[in-house]
Amino acid sequence: MRFKQNLSFALILLSFSTVLCSTVGNLDNYYATNAAAPLDIPSYVQYAGVNEIVHPDVIYEPNGWHGYKYWMAHTPFPNNDATYENPCLAVSNDNVTWIDPPGLTNPVDSFNSSSNDYNSDPEILLSPDKSTMYMLWRRYKNNQFEKLYVRQSSDGITWTDRVEVLSTNPNIESLISPAVIYYNGQYMMWTVDVKPSPRIVRLRTASSIYGPWSSSTATDIHPLSYDTGGTALTETWHINVAMVGNEYWMIDNDTVMGGSNGVNLYLGNSNDGIHWTFANHPVLYMRNNYLYWDQKLYRACIIPVNDGQQIGFRLWYSVMRKATGTNPPWRIGYTEAWCAPKNTRMLSTRQDSLSILWDAFASVYLKSTYYKVQETATPFVEGSWQDISSWSSNLSLSVAKNANLKRFFRVLAKVE
């Protein structure tokens, strides 16, 4: 098939062999679209009038937990100052308007920290009966220790004293970005050990979040990208884990080998939490251009979501401060990852015409021959998508748009 040269771009999608009907799709076919702008999340400290925050971890309860559907743990990081990198909470009912939990004075925990002794990497989760919220985070003291602490609360406002639950010698093993879930009667925790090269993601288990935690088991997570000659280019930096049925899914922020600057985000899955398979490409790409707010991606978290056709992922991701004070610094954005053609990740280039082709995808929805195309300017807001075609068996569509508008397009299939 040949494309007309006046088309801004076209996308041909490869076919799947499975029906995406409330199921998890092929790992390599999940994509997310960069958020147009960061979320506005409060911080107890600002830099140059901006709430600089990082390390999101989110709990979502559809019916709310103590008045709020969304609870987010995060850490401020104003102008890269680790002395303020203390675990904090924010809440929301619509994932747009975020506030400090009424009655709570952030941070949840702090001490007289310094650039060589600081907190980082908070995780929050609810107990199996949802009566208790746990906050777990890392404390690092240069050349002396790495520790993990836990505090708990029955309402998200009043918290017990911190309890040390794990400690390592930082010259031997690091405990970066703990990712904790409760599954099948036990707590499971993955941490990133940056002492070996390549890095090792380690798994521990415990019957209580307070431990005692088991000795670590090394997973088989390997570097995430390679050059054409097979040399490793990037490896794991920060992680988060969620369950889909009885399968483990991980969002993995990579960095250059041995580095500490975030790059892209990868999705991976596992049947046992030890042996992992990762997609051959990022689920979300950095935008290496000072025109965008998300130049380098950092720690992210995921929550599965079922739209009635397939399993997707809500995705909150943090972004590194740029090397300039004139552009957005450490911030957190929201998007969703779907298996194409739910979200085709198609971006216009402010051209007048666009061709959308999905004939190779007709076999995806084996029960359907009906398709339609939607568009939006804010792809991370699900309710903003608007139909630009009705259900049809046609396998292509050409549209003309105002050249001054940047639009996002996706193809939907009708399952009957």
Q: Is the pLDDT of residue 3 over 50?
A: no
CA 154 to chain centre: 26
Q: How far apart are the first and last CA of the chain?
A: 30
The superfamily in CATH containing domain 26-341 is Glycosyl hydrolase domain; family 43 (2.115.10.20)
Report the amino acid identity of residue 164: E
Quickly state the pLDDT bin for 154 (edges 50, 70, 90): very high
Q: Is the pLDDT of residue 403 over 60?
A: no
**Residue 204 pLDDT:** 98
Q: Give the DSSP per-residue string, 13-26.
A: PPPPSS--SSEE--
Quickly state the pLDDT bin for 344 (edges 50, 70, 90): low
Q: Is the pLDDT of residue 415 over 70?
A: no
Report the amino acid identity of residue 342: K
Cα(381)–Cα(378) distance, rounded to whole angstroms?
6
- Which is higher by pLDDT, 351 or 262? 262
Segment 285-313 shows an average pLDDT of 85
Residues 6+ apart with CB under 8 A from 137: 73, 75, 87, 109, 119, 120, 121, 122, 123, 148, 149, 178
Q: What does the domain layout of the chain look like in residue ranges?
A: 26-341, 348-413
Give whole-number Cα distances, 212 to 177, 183, 338, in Å: 19, 17, 38
Helix residue spans in 286-365 (DSSP H): none
pLDDT above 90 as % of the chain: 63
- Which is higher by pLDDT, 315 or 28? 315
Q: Is the pLDDT of residue 153 over 80?
A: yes
**Residue 62 pLDDT:** 95
Residues 6+ apart with CB under 8 A from 28: 279, 280, 281
**Residue 5 pLDDT:** 21
Q: Is the pLDDT of residue 339 over 90?
A: no
Beta bridge partners of 125: 134
Q: Tell me the three state secondary structure of residue 358.
A: coil
Considering the entire predicted model, what is its pTM?
Answer: 0.82
